[in-house]
C-alpha cells in the first residue's frame, strides 16, 4: 500500500470515528425527543433549550464548587427530570385538553417554553460564551494500527470517548428500564394506545410526566457530556432542537431504537459531509437528509414508528 492511500484511509477512518463519537451524543438527544414524541405525540421544540439548561447547571457546579462535569451528572439528571416533569404537569398537560383552531398548540407552547428558558439564561448569564475548562478537555488517546505495511495513527478525543461510553450506558439503561420495569411497560403501553392503557388502570397522566422528565434528563445528560468540549451560550439550544427532530424523523417518529440509529447517521453525515464536501454546509446535510427521508421514507430508516 502506498503512503498516499494509507493517508486517505487514515483520514477516512478518523472522520468515521469522529462521526460515531458525535453520533453517540446525538443518539442521547434523539432518545429523549423520541420518547416524548412516542408517548405524547408532540414535537418538543424546547428540547435543545433543556440541554442548554443542563449545560449551565454543569457550568455553575464547575465554576462554583469545582465539581467535575461527569460527577455533576448526578445532579443534572434528577434536576432535569424534575424540570421536565413539572413542565409537562403544569404547562403541557393542561393545553392537551384545550380545543383550538391551530392543531399544534402544544408544539407552539414548547416554543414559548424554549424562548423563556433561553432568554432567562441570557438575563442571568449574559450572552457571552462560557466554557467548562476541565484539565482533560483536549486530552487525546492515540492508537496506531498497522495496515498493509503502513502505520495508520488514529486519535480519540478523551471527553468525546467518555461521553460516548456514558451515552451507551444510559441508552442501555433506558432500554432495560422500558423493557423490564413496570413503569417502563406502562410507558410503552401508553405510547401504543393511551385510551387502552387508561382502561387497564394505568395513570396515563402520571406516565406523561415521567416520560417528559425522562426525555429531559436524557437530553440533559447529553448537555453535561458536551459541556467540556463545547462553548455554551444562551442560544445554543436552537440548533440542537433542530438536530433532535432530524434524528427523530430519521429513526421514525417515536421509535426509540430508531433514534439511536438516527443519531449515528446524523453524526456520520455531518462528519463525512464537512470533510469531503464543505465545512460551511455542515449543518445543511442534516436538513437535506431529513427532507429526503421525510419524502421517501416517511416512517424513518427502520420503517416503523412505534416504541
Partner 1 sequence: MPKKPVLLVVPALLLLLFPLVFSNPYILHMLILSMMWIILGVAWNLLGGFTGQVSYGHAAFFGTGAYATAILVKSGQPVAQAWWGLLVGGLAAVVLATFIGWICFRLRGPYFSLSALALSEVLRLVALNWKEVTNGAEGILFLPAFNDKGAYYYIVFALAAVTIFTIHRVMKSKLGFYFLAIREDQDAAESLGIDTTKYKLVSLMISAFFTGVAGSFYMNYMGFIDPGIVFDLSKISIMMILVTMLGGAATLWGPALGAVIYILVSEIFRVYVGSGHLVFFGVLIIVIILFFPNGIVGSILEAKGRRDRKTDGKDPKQVAA
Query: Collapsing DSSP states into helix, strand and coil, what is residue 304?
Result: coil
Taking CB under 8 A as the criterion, the residue among 231, 288, 303, 304 binding partner 1 is: 288
Taking CB under 8 A as the criterion, the residue among 1, 5, 71, 108 binding partner 1 is: 108
Q: How far apart are CA 25 and CA 34, in angstroms?
A: 14
Residue 92: closest CA among 4, 212, 249, 231 = 212
Q: At closest approach, how far in Å is the CB of 7 from partner 1? A: 27
Q: At closest approach, how far in Å is the CB of 114 from partner 1? A: 8
In the chain, beta strands by DSSP E: 140-147, 150-157
Q: How far apart are CA 35 and CA 106, in angstroms?
A: 16
Residue 270: closest CA among 233, 242, 234, 296 = 242
The stretch near partner 1 (CB under 8 A) out of 95-103, 140-148, 153-161, 213-221 is: 95-103
Q: Is 287 in the site for partner 1 (CB under 8 A)?
A: yes
Strand partners, 144: 153
Q: How far apart are CA 35 and CA 56, in angstroms?
A: 24
Torsion of Cα atoms, 58 then 269 then 258 then 303, to 10°: 160
**The residue count for the chain:** 307
Per-residue binding string, partner 1, 43-82, x by CB under 8 A, is x---------------------------------------
Q: Which three cell numbers stand for residue 92?
A: 403541557
Taking CB under 8 A as the criterion, the residue among 119, 153, 181, 203 binding partner 1 is: 119
Question: Please, which residue, 35 or 73, has the CB nearer to partner 1?
Answer: 35
Q: Is 172 in the site for partner 1 (CB under 8 A)?
A: no
How far apart, in Å, are the Cα atoms of 93 and each of 78, 109, 204?
Answer: 21, 11, 11
Residue 287 DSSP code: H
Question: Please, which residue, 24 or 114, has the CB nearer to partner 1?
Answer: 114
Give the gyration radius of the chain's Cα atoms.
20
The stretch near partner 1 (CB under 8 A) out of 97-105, 159-167, 224-232, 257-265 is: 97-105
Per-residue binding string, partner 1, 5-44, x by CB under 8 A, is --------------------------------------x-
Q: At closest approach, how far in Å is the CB of 101 from partner 1? A: 5
Q: At closest approach, how far in Å is the CB of 61 from partner 1? A: 22
The stretch near partner 1 (CB under 8 A) out of 26-34, 159-167, 211-219, 286-294 is: 286-294
Please count the other Cβ atoms lying within 10 Å of the Cβ belonging to residue 203: 13
What is the size of the binding site for partner 1 (CB under 8 A)?
46
- State the residues that interact with partner 1 by CB under 8 A: 43, 91, 94-95, 98-105, 107-109, 111-116, 119-123, 126-127, 234, 238, 242, 245-246, 249, 278, 280-281, 283-284, 287-288, 290-291, 294-295, 298
Amino acid at each position: 500500500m502506498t503512503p498516499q492511500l494509507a493517508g486517505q484511509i487514515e483520514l477516512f477512518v478518523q472522520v468515521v470515528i469522529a462521526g460515531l463519537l458525535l453520533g453517540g451524543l446525538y443518539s442521547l438527544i434523539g432518545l429523549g425527543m423520541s420518547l416524548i414524541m412516542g408517548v405524547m405525540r408532540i414535537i418538543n421544540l424546547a428540547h435543545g433549550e433543556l440541554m442548554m439548561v443542563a449545560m449551565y447547571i454543569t457550568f455553575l457546579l464547575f465554576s462554583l464548587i469545582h465539581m467535575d462535569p461527569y460527577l455533576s451528572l448526578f445532579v443534572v439528571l434528577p434536576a432535569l427530570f424534575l424540570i421536565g416533569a413539572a413542565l409537562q404537569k403544569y404547562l403541557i398537560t393542561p393545553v392537551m385538553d384545550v380545543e383550538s383552531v391551530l392543531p399544534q398548540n402544544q408544539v407552539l407552547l414548547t416554543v414559548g417554553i424554549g424562548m423563556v428558558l433561553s432568554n432567562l439564561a441570557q438575563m442571568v448569564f449574559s450572552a457571552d460564551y462560557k466554557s467548562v475548562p476541565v484539565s482533560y478537555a483536549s486530552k487525546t488517546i492515540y492508537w496506531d494500527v498497522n495496515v498493509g505495511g503502513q502505520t495508520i495513527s488514529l486519535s480519540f478525543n478523551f471527553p468525546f470517548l467518555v461521553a460516548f461510553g456514558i451515552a451507551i450506558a444510559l441508552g442501555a439503561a433506558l432500554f432495560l428500564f422500558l423493557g423490564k420495569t413496570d413503569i417502563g411497560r406502562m410507558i410503552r403501553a401508553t405510547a401504543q394506545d393511551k385510551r387502552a392503557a387508561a382502561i387497564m388502570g394505568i395513570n396515563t397522566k402520571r406516565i406523561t410526566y415521567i416520560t417528559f422528565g425522562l426525555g429531559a434528563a436524557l437530553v440533559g445528560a447529553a448537555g453535561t457530556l458536551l459541556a467540556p468540549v463545547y462553548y455554551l451560550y444562551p442560544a445554543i439550544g436552537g440548533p440542537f432542537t433542530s438536530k433532535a427532530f432530524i434524528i427523530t424523523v430519521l429513526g421514525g417518529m417515536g421509535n426509540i431504537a430508531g433514534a439511536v440509529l438516527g443519531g449515528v447517521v446524523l453524526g456520520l453525515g455531518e462528519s463525512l459531509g464537512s470533510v469531503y464536501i464543505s465545512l460551511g454546509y455542515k449543518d445543511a446535510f442534516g436538513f437535506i437528509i431529513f427532507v429526503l427521508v421525510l419524502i421517501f421514507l416517511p416512517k424513518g430508516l427502520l420503517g416503523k414508528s412505534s416504541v
